[in-house]
Amino acid sequence: MPTVDTFLPDFIQSTFFSGYTVFNTVVYTLILVAFILAIIKMFKKLEFDPLSIFYSIIPFIFLGSSTRALVDNGVYPKTVFLITPGLYILVGLTTILSFLFSIYLFRKKGIDYRYALFFIGIILSLPNVILFSNVNSTAIIYVILTWIVSSLIFLGLVFLVLYIKNNIFNEIEKFNLSKFIAKMKKYKINFSIVLAHLFDASTTYVAVEYFNYYEQHVLPNALNQLFDTYLTLFPMKIIVIVAV
């Protein structure tokens, strides 16, 4: 299997495969925007709502993040398509091809494309799940607890903002739980996206603070140097997602 050291020219290796810089971060952002626009166009042509597969692609998200973790731990080799940005390109293309195959099954066999896509992702993720059998259980507990705490803080802030704006209360002093829950359900996709990114922030925070990993991205590193803590990952994630 070709490695980064032998597969690519020196300029490409040093610019795009030797860590994140301001330049390659901008390039990746532009590529991502073009990729998203192409996906939107694809969904319009196929006449499918992209939100319909929101939960179906969760196994593919796990596939990407778990593969990256296994590479960092030396389980998988650092090849072109197993480190960023190659890994994200590979997982992205795999997801698209799996989606198109699911659409084919839906139109030819009547199989629900959402379930088909979900189970394809599960099957592809199984090797990583098996290889994770020896993962440090303490790290997993730390990540889950950090995610729960950060999620509760986020939801508490949302509740506080809604309370102040009086959007879900008939009277400012009277709490209406049913309206609050209805409000949450209305924006469940938005909340799911934020909570997913908080989970990503939790894994990164635990890794760099407790297990001697390092953060590769430019902005989180800049914020860490400014405030001397990677807790800045959490407000950064929320601000970026809400702004988008």
pLDDT, one tens digit per residue, over 149-180 is: 999 998 888 878 777 776 555 555 555 667 66
Average pLDDT rounded to a whole number, residues 27-51: 84
CB 206 within 8 A of CB 200: no
Extract the tokens encoding 66: 């778990």
pLDDT of residue 132: 77
Average pLDDT rounded to a whole number, residues 138-145: 85
At position 49, the amino acid (one-letter code) is D
More confident residue, 142 or 213: 142
Sign of CA dihedral 66, 69, 70, 76: positive
Average pLDDT rounded to a whole number, residues 94-110: 94
What CA–CA distance (Å, rounded) separates 71 from 98? Answer: 23
pLDDT of residue 28: 74
**Local confidence band at 118 (pLDDT 50, 70, 90 cut-offs):** very high
- Supply angle C-alpha 235, 238, 242, rounded to 5: 140
CA 177 to chain centre: 30
pLDDT of residue 78: 79
Tell which residue, 144, 229, 143, 243, has the closest CA to residue 193: 243
- Which residue matches tokens 């300029």? 11
More confident residue, 14 or 64: 64
What CA–CA distance (Å, rounded) separates 134 from 80? Answer: 25
pLDDT of residue 101: 96
Question: Cα-flanking dihedrals φ and ψ of residue 79, to 5°?
Answer: -95, 170
Extract the tokens encoding 87: 């890994």
Half-sphere exposure of 16 (CA within 13 A, CB side): 18
pLDDT of residue 146: 92
Tell which residue, 146, 161, 156, 241, has the closest CA to residue 199: 146
Judge whether residue 80 has pLDDT over 80: no
More confident residue, 138 or 12: 138
Q: What is the pTM of this model?
A: 0.70
pLDDT, one tens digit per residue, over 38-49 is: 888 888 888 888
More confident residue, 209 or 240: 209
At position 94, the amino acid (one-letter code) is T
- Which residue matches tokens 């902005």? 219
Give the DSSP H/E element, type plus range, for residue 151. Answer: helix 137-165
**Local confidence band at 52 (pLDDT 50, 70, 90 cut-offs):** confident
Extract the tokens encoding 225: 């140097």
Average pLDDT rounded to a whole number, residues 173-191: 67
Average pLDDT, the chain: 79
CB 147 within 8 A of CB 202: yes
